[in-house]
Structure 1
Amino acid sequence: MIWEQMLPMKWRILIFLPLLFISSDASGAFVGINIGMELTDLPSAKDVVEILKSHHVTHVRLYDADRHMLNALANTGIEVMVGVNNEELLGIGKYPAAAADWVNKNVVAYLPETNITAIAVGSEVLTTIPRVAPYLVWAMGHLHRALVATNLNFQVKVSSPHAMDIIERPFPPSTATFNPKMNTTMYLFLQFLKNTKSFFMLNAYPYYGYTTGNGIFPIDYALFKPLAPSKQIVDSNTALRYSSMFDAMVDAAYYSMEALNFSGIPVVVTESGWPSLGGSNEPDATTENAEIYVTNLIHRVLNNSGPPSQPQIPISTYIYELFNEDKRPGPLSEKNWGLFHTNGTAMYSQNLITLDMEEGNSSDGVLFCVAKQGADESALEAGLNWACGPGKASCGAIQEGQPCYQPNSLQSHASYAFNDYYQRMRSSGGTCDFGGTAMTTPMDPSHGSCIFTGSSSSHSGRVITPLTAYGPVSPTSRGLTLQNSWIAFYIPAMVFLLQLQQ
């Protein structure tokens, strides 16, 4: 049965209203890092943040809303994704008051000093705790409503990370679909993302795709290494060529969404990495492979292109993870995904973290604040007026006849003003937000004779940004582990989702 046919016509019309998708611009892709805390000698939150700052990390994901980390991240400009534990999800899904309380305690209490921009609701819920699956979208909706009530819904997006095994037969990508047992929840989930202009969170691990693939794919394909012409991976249905398993996994998610008639929802990879050590039965978990994978992953993300079917949508990615977590259960590889020792030194090669980019301007470690592509024009104009007025940004360069007047666009002028304010005020608590219309980037937006505040103006140097499938789920999911009583749940949930548009 086609689910939307169960709904009155006026609801169906609302459901399929075109999505106003906010796409990334050329400098929009970022590499972030996951911060797990299941290790014996966990540094203090202050020391963790010093490590992040020393390596110019711009985005982090926390698996919870640890108050010590959130306080330590204050006034750093680092964009933070906080997490709702799987154990908390059921209560938040049942009770709107619990969601409001969670948002007040774990988001509102830290803004604007701590730059919280996303909430990850649970971790791989559909595959690890299916009995809670019907409450996932309710929990997301309740949290979104709480953000609306505090006027934070444009700044803080809500989504939930999924493992690759929600997708049946992910190769070839063009035939990929979500597990049909999950279709009802996935339809509601995607409708929520569309209504709230959020993004699809995917945990993509070519390590597992390769090690459980029984030799179907070469290891070079998993490690982003060039393939010989005779070993090229091609989707026979589309003739699209896949140079890496990572790209194929992301495309499988896009095609799975398309199979449910959803498009334009960007995929953000919330976890990806490679273990540097494994047991005797894990021969591919080596330092060499981990270094190759993470180095190539960072290069792949920072080229700002999407997968073959969606080349215009960059694949922002969080590397798994900051430190090895020796207290994690499971095989030896489970404990060895870290990029850094707890003293801040790199786990393998310092070149992982300092990347010489052949193309594009460099910020030499500086973060710039620019307007988001597709941001609401009225909000953008309000932000520009505030920056050049009460914010005391120096806006002379964007006046007619001055070096930054061209291109004469609201997007360009707002970027210059936002960045000038951010560079001048960051040390005293100024943030790159402007009502959710701005974002930080390590790429220097200077052009021609228009030099942005903070630029070295040389257009050379380094981009320094450490960042974070087939087969089993990603490293053991953090949390609890429905029966198919879907129909009674579906109709009221759809009504709730439609109300989010109002």
Structure 2
Amino acid sequence: MASMGPPPLSFSTFILSLYLFSLLLRTTYSLPTTLGVTYFTPVPTTTQPKPPPPVHIATAISSLGFNSIRVLNPDPTLTRAFTYTNTTLFLTIPNPLVQPIASNRSMALRWLYVHVVPFYPRARITTISVGNDFLSASPPGFYSFLLPAIRNVHLALRDIGIRKISVSTSFSFINIVSTPFPPSSAEFQGLASDNLIKPLLQFLRDTNSSFLINIYPYNVYRLNSEIPIGFALFQEHPFNFRDDLITGVRYRNLFDMMVDAVISAMTAAGFVNIPVVVAETGWPSSGDALEVDANSAYAEMYLRGLVAHLKSGLGTPLRKEGVAEAYIYELFDDEVRWGKTPHERSWGILFSNMTKKYEIEFSGSDSAGGSRAFLCLCSFAVAVNIIRGPLHLLSL
């Protein structure tokens, strides 16, 4: 007698299949990182060209394919230009306001009523950074104002009924992390480690917020002559790797190494699973006469490699989901902002006339999308057969 095929897939079996499929999917790849760009609103002067209108900035962000923008000095007219768009906004409270906000919550409310309340939720504001690299930009001892300011902004948001905007602050990797290699040995350094970092991490965990870090492989590369340029630029070569002998983890680019150093430092401080956001990253297209590696060719290689890496969904060796968001520094070169000196680095991805420096696809789509979709279908088929197989055997 001819053997019968497996029984039809019941509803309960189908649900089990979906569950197993989700488990397989999680182990296959993570979602790509949200990719954004930083923007500094130029201060109008009589000697500098008039900055682009905010609506042109919003159009440029959309045409470049970015999902998010980090505004380093928020301006209400710019925020208004992003209302009813799909672009998320990451706002930064300027460093000079940190101390006043720490001393008086009404100052936090005043800032929110100017920069957030008139636009939210029509403008998709998701994050507020209280200061930008405040530790490096402020006199010694001023770090004591940072956490009270963060808490006051958080409480002020609750006072006006907004609960979906996270509050944090950003740090410079070089100034806050002891060493990039080996990443497993990294710790937070300086006097602020116990007095600021640990209480901040506790706050971030309690409020489901992210740790914001400015990561510049260019700066670490310049400080460490033994780092190959290809390792810093995401170049794939047979011997282009570094092994962490403590964990046995192999690193193939400097960006992952720096991110994992941050993750290890948080773990050493007693905190795991706090999301990491790369608040700034990039490579200069020009610098002073001694900075031969600050050139447009290397800048394009870094950005192209970064985008491909973030789109892949591979994460880092220590965190498979990778960084939650990453922001390329910056939309325009400094000369568009206030006039560039001969020895100042240029980081922008657009020229002052809003034309592109590089032919890079920044959008969320990627060439691996088709293969990943096929992989998902295969995983689902495997899940169905794993579930149906035992049921079929039980029916014999």
TM-score, scaled to structure 1: 0.64
Q: Distance in 2 between matches of 1:258 and 1:92?
A: 30
Q: Name the counterpart of 2:218.
A: 207
Which string of whole-angstrom CA distances, capped at 9 and with x for unpartnered residues, describes residues 320-349 of structure 1?
Answer: 01011115688656441111123332113x
Letter in 2 for 1:109: P
Q: Name the counterpart of 2:187.
A: 177
Which string of whole-angstrom CA distances, capped at 9 and with x for unpartnered residues, describes residues 46-75 of structure 1?
Answer: 111121122232100001221111111111
Q: Distance in 2 between matches of 1:312 and 1:111?
A: 29
Q: Name the counterpart of 1:139.
A: 149
Per the alignment, do residues 265 and 355 of structure 1 end up closer, same or farther by CA in structure 2, a change over 3 Å counting?
closer
Per the alignment, do residues 329 and 193 of structure 1 end up closer, same or farther by CA in structure 2, a change over 3 Å counting?
farther
Q: Name the counterpart of 1:245.
A: 254
Q: Name the counterpart of 2:347.
A: 337
Q: Name the counterpart of 2:31.
A: 27
Question: Is the Cα contact below 8 Å between 2:210 and 2:274 reproduced in 1?
Answer: yes
Alignment of 1:223-238 (within 5 A): 223-229=233-239, 231-238=240-247
Per the alignment, do residues 180 and 275 of structure 1 end up closer, same or farther by CA in structure 2, a change over 3 Å counting?
closer
TM-score, scaled to structure 2: 0.80
Q: Matched residue pairs, number? A: 339
Which of residues 86, 102, 118 in structure 2 aligns to 1:77? 86
User: Sequence identity of aligned pairs in percent?
Assistant: 29
Q: Do residues 359 (structure 1) and 368 (structure 2) align?
A: yes
Equivalent position SS for 2:255: helix
Q: Name the counterpart of 2:13.
A: none
Post-superposition shift, 1:355? 8.5
Equivalent position SS for 1:263: coil
Q: Distance in 1 between matches of 2:98 and 2:113?
A: 16
Q: Distance in 2 between matches of 1:124 and 1:110?
A: 26
Equivalent position SS for 1:178: coil
Question: Highest CA radius of gyration, 1 or 2?
Answer: 2
Letter in 1 for 2:220: G
Q: Name the counterpart of 1:148.
A: 158
Per the alignment, do residues 293 and 328 of structure 1 end up closer, same or farther by CA in structure 2, a change over 3 Å counting?
farther
Post-superposition shift, 1:44? 1.3
Q: Distance in 2 between matches of 1:128 and 1:194?
A: 26
Equivalent position SS for 2:212: strand
Which string of whole-angstrom CA distances, capped at 9 and with x for unpartnered residues, describes residues 287-345 of structure 1?
Answer: 10000000111111111232211113445210001011115688656441111123332
Post-superposition shift, 1:127? 2.5
Which of residues 64, 67, 89 in structure 2 aligns to 1:55? 64
Q: Distance in 2 between matches of 1:203 and 1:330?
A: 22
Which string of whole-angstrom CA distances, capped at 9 and with x for unpartnered residues, describes residues 28-59 of structure 1?
Answer: 52110000234843211111112112223210
Which string of whole-angstrom CA distances, capped at 9 and with x for unpartnered residues, describes residues 149-178 of structure 1?
Answer: 22222x211111100121112311100001
Q: Distance in 2 between matches of 1:332 and 1:38?
A: 19
Question: Is the Cα contact below 8 Å between 1:82 and 1:120 reproduced in 2?
Answer: yes
Equivalent position SS for 1:252: helix
Gaps of 5+ in 2: 1-25, 378-396
Q: Distance in 2 between matches of 1:319 and 1:157?
A: 20
Alignment of 1:49-448 (within 5 A): 49-129=58-138, 130-153=140-163, 155-164=164-173, 165-183=175-193, 184-213=195-224, 215-229=225-239, 231-326=240-335, 327=337, 332=342, 334-348=344-358, 350-353=359-362, 357-360=366-369
Q: Distance in 2 between matches of 1:256 and 1:356?
A: 32
More displaced 10-residue stretch of structure 1: 131-140 or 308-317: 308-317
Letter in 2 for 1:219: I
Equivalent position SS for 1:292: helix
Q: Distance in 2 between matches of 1:221 and 1:329?
A: 33
Question: Is the Cα contact below 8 Å between 1:81 and 1:116 reproduced in 2?
Answer: yes
Equivalent position SS for 1:238: coil
Post-superposition shift, 1:280? 0.9
Gaps of 5+ in 1: 1-22, 363-442, 449-502
Q: Distance in 2 between matches of 1:113 and 1:355?
A: 22
Q: Distance in 1 between matches of 2:294 and 2:144?
A: 36
Q: CA RMSD in A?
A: 2.4
Q: Distance in 2 between matches of 1:179 and 1:328?
A: 33
